[in-house]
Amino acid sequence: MHNNAGIGGTFRDSILDEEKSDYERVISVNLVGTFLGIKHAARAMIPNGRGSILTTASVASVVGGVAPYGYTSSKHAVVGLTRNAAVDLGRYGIRVNCLSPHLLETPLTKGYYKMPAEELSKVYSTFKGEELTAEDVAEAALFLASDESRYLNGENMVVDGGFTIVNPNLCIYK
């Protein structure tokens, strides 16, 4: 089962401008929705003695400053929720893993940035010559859901072309 619903919230210039209601709405959908998805999927999987649950976080679960407060907070929390559920549900033969993709242009992300998503992928990646596609994320999700990843549990697979592994301003390789 793949928990893949989410909303972004509203970009604000500062935490001082954040609206509590917007923050709570994003947390409710992204985090509480994921919690409920795991809970109900586990109920269906426990009698079978096996299963695979996949959650979706984001590169915002690994670095700060790339998304609104509610979104970033919720995605960090989804990783923690995933790991906790992996320990709990592992005793029933159920694996719980997380997928954290870089930005893809979707209705959720359209309009957030001042450049098209494919340009962001080119700028903010160490893997030149390739652009992140929905198919790349789908293939990673299929792998985590499949028996090929049968010994992975509690992982957060970041699909970002190396975006989160380096500060481009400090990189010695230009």
Which residues are catalytically annotated? Answer: 58, 71, 75
Whether residue 12 contacts residue 23, with contact meaning beta carbons closer than 8 Å, is answered with no
Q: Look up residue 156 and give its DSSP letter.
A: E
Identify the sign of the CA torsion 38, 40, 46, 50: negative
Helices (H), the chain: 20-27, 33-45, 69-90, 117-123, 134-145
Other beta carbons within 10 Å of 127: 13
d(CA 144, CA 155): 9
Residue 87, helix vs strand vs coil: helix
Residue type, 67: A
- Provide φ and ψ at 23, rounded to 5°: -60, -50
